[in-house]
Amino acid sequence: MTLAALKSEFSPARQQTRFLGISPESIEVRKQVRNATLHLDEAVTSQTMIAQKRHAIAELIQTVRQSARPNWDGYGADPVKPEGFMEAVRLLGQLPVGLPNPEFEVLANGDIALEWHLRKGHSFIISLSGESLISYAGLLGPGAKVHGTEYFFEEIPYPVVQSLLRLFP
């Protein structure tokens, strides 16, 4: 009979386990524990990402509800475009992992803006009209400005993703 010796050490991040056994059974247990830990980490990360996306969509819905009728701002603003809302939801689902949620704003023409403001001179704004176009502009650091309009069909256009990843490396 083989004994697999385990020594546990507490870590604030998670329980750490160090294996001291060297038998084939002990090595197999070590592999199984490592695989289980990786799957657990992936599940926790996935659940965190899902919660983050749900929170962003809830904030988007709240913003859209406040601007769903004509003249919602008292200055003649157009109501939010349902197609723009659907594009925003689709875009949120495709944002790179680890990116913070944007702030949302409905523009006077009914377009939806997604905004990331990191610090002075570091911000990025996307505007969605519901017409399969993304207009964007950003300040990505000293002397680094980007802007443009790209088609948005299947995936977030490459220049938009690259700009966001430059802002949040």
Instruction: Express each pLDDT in 2-19 by its tens digit.
Output: 333 333 333 334 444 455
Instruction: Express each pLDDT in 123-163 by its tens digit.
Output: 999 999 999 999 999 999 999 999 999 999 989 999 999 99
Residue corresponding to tokens 């430059």: 166
**Residue 151 in contact with residue 133, Cβ under 8 Å?**
yes
Is this model's pTM higher than 0.75 or not?
no
Strands 6-9 and 133-140: unpaired
Percent of the chain with pLDDT over 70: 74
Report how far Cα 98 is from the mean position of its chain's Cα atoms.
6
Residues 16-25, mean pLDDT to the nearest whole number: 60
Average pLDDT, the chain: 82
